[in-house]
Amino acid sequence: MRTPAPLRARLVRWLAASVVAVCAAAGLTALAAAPASAVETNVWYRLVNDASGLAVSIENSSTATGAKALLATPSNATNQQFRFVDAGSGYYRIEARHSGQVLDVYAKSTANGADITQWTSNGGTNQQWQVNTQSDGSVELVNRNSAKALDNWEWATTPGSRVSQYDRNNLESQHWKLVPIGTGGTAGNGSLTDANVQFYGRWDKDDAAWHQMGWAGGYVETAFTGASIGVKLRGAIDMWYSIDGGAETWMRGVSGNVTVRSGLSGTHTIRIGFRERAGSYTGDPSFGGFILASGGATAPTVRPDKHIEFVGDSITVGQPNANRPFSTYAWNSAEALGASHMQVAEGGACVSTTDCRGMVDWFLRTTNQDANDMWEFNTYETDLVVINLGTNNKVSAAQFQADYILLLQRVRQSYPNAEILAMGVFRERLLTEVQNAVTNRNNAGDAKVHYVDTRGWVDPATDTSDNVHPHDAGHAKIASLLTPVLDRYI
């Protein structure tokens, strides 16, 4: 069962508190501490809440004392990375990687709902936590000063919500998965052969000096130390970057050795990507590695355990919006679920090959530039494939349906274990044919192919810029509707 409604959450809290009170009055212990978890003190962890799937994060990556701990979509940002420092007597200080400060119950409060902040380590018992292992492998974190548990306040499911303390109740809102970020691993140099440099999406790696992004929405990540970070680029390209999970920032028309950020200290993460090469835009999405400062190094990060691949046309690319790919429904729905992702998509794409970029064939390719470069589907495991095609159909409905069935067959051959979702066309055309294609595969014994009814999701008058292409707000609306659908299958 997932997060209860707020009223249900409050009722559960009241009942749990009542049980504690009654047991205390009877001289009984309502919640005995589980055996302390053998946490590794040399490992950085992400603290992910069982009720919401959101991670503990220090607000805005602040390094100031008193900055609040909030819930955020899990990422590799260092303000979501914590290690356990032995404080003695079975307690630990929980240290934030980006700031070196520790989780602290503000003002030594013993009240339910008190803020959790970061603060300079001072030996206070309000900075010390007992780690109790639960039967599902999660942990309960109990503050030494208050004897209350770290808590997802009001069972929130929205990023930016509060982390607090509350009477121990053994509910999911107080259960936290400790997801290892890495044990330090091997420091790297940021080159293309550096194992700490993680590629997401389809990249053409035939050239040992330059790896090229093959389709829209590919990106590269690493963690690093040092005073600055830069990127090696070949030809001119529109590149975007994000530091420590912050807002994506464009650097337009850059090439050569490009400094992204300077004046840094400590450990950080970086994600970069490019505008897709398609149509009249001929930028060079070629990546030659990260440029580290003297004494700097890369560090390992953990890839998300789920990957989603979106197959589509200009709508899935996010055209003509300036902040694609990271403003698209595909990007934002995957990010909301903490999954890695990519978009095998191009403007004008169809299912069929007749007078069109037919994805029934191009789905099999590494890039949208070379018909002979076949993608190696064993490069990584894909858990979910989402198809959104039909807007640009140029064949009969019968041919469209036949080719859609073939596309579904090829996706299944490529990803034997993936769930496959076929979305209804937003323009509400060819819906019967898409459903028939799904039914065909179900009748053939493939129960992991599903139809997504999108009728009413997109209002051409208010959600698009031209009656076809959703604007940024339209994409956000689609993502809000699609995310819970994806969550059922991933």
The continuous run of DSSP H or E covering 407 comes out as helix 397-414
- Taking phi first (over 0 means left), then psi (-120 to 50 degrees means alpha), and beta for anything else, what does residue 90 get? left
CATH 2.60.120.260, the chain: domain bounds:
198-299
What pLDDT does residue 280 have?
86
Q: Which residues pair with 131 in a beta bridge?
A: 141
CATH numeric code, 198-299: 2.60.120.260
What pLDDT does residue 182 have?
56
Question: For 105-109, 135-139, 289-293, 440-444, which range has the lowest pLDDT when averaged over its residues?
Answer: 135-139
Segment 157-168 shows an average pLDDT of 96
CATH 3.40.50.1110, the chain: domain bounds:
307-489
**Residue pLDDT, tens place only, 196-217:** 999 999 999 999 999 999 999 9
The pTM for the full model equals: 0.69
CB 216 within 8 A of CB 345: yes
What pLDDT does residue 202 have?
98
Tokens matching residue 215: 């389709």
Segment 78-93 shows an average pLDDT of 93
Q: What are phi and psi of 107, to 5 degrees?
A: 60, 25
**What's the whole-number average pLDDT of the chain?**
90
Q: In three state form, how does the secondary structure of 39-55 look?
A: CCCCCEEEEEECCCCCE
**Residue 22: which pLDDT band, with cuts at 50, 70 and 90?**
very low
**Residue pLDDT, tens place only, 431-461:** 999 999 999 999 999 999 999 999 999 999 9
What pLDDT does residue 265 have?
86
Amino acid of residue 189: N
Fold of 307-489: Rossmann fold (3.40.50)
The number of C-alpha atoms within 13 Å of 164 and in the hemisphere containing its C-beta is 19
Segment 402-413 shows an average pLDDT of 99
Tokens matching residue 315: 């709508």
Amino acid of residue 464: T
**Residue 19: which pLDDT band, with cuts at 50, 70 and 90?**
very low
- State yes or no: pLDDT of 25 exceeds 60: no
- State yes or no: pLDDT of 15 exceeds 70: no
What pLDDT does residue 26 have?
36
Tokens matching residue 320: 């003509």
Fold of 31-182: Trefoil (Acidic Fibroblast Growth Factor, subunit A) (2.80.10)
CB 71 within 8 A of CB 159: yes
Residue 452's nearest CA partner among 380, 384, 372, 369 is 384
**Residue pLDDT, tens place only, 285-301:** 999 999 999 888 998 88
**Residue pLDDT, tens place only, 114-123:** 999 999 999 9
**Residue pLDDT, tens place only, 220-250:** 999 998 999 999 999 999 999 999 999 999 9
CATH 2.80.10.50, the chain: domain bounds:
31-182
Q: What are phi and psi of 364, to 5 degrees?
A: -85, -5
Strand spans (E) along 134-173: 139-143, 149-152, 163-166
Would you mind telling me the total number of residues written for the chain in this entry? 490
398's CB contacts (< 8 A; 6+ apart) are: 433
**Residue pLDDT, tens place only, 46-72:** 999 999 989 999 999 999 999 999 999
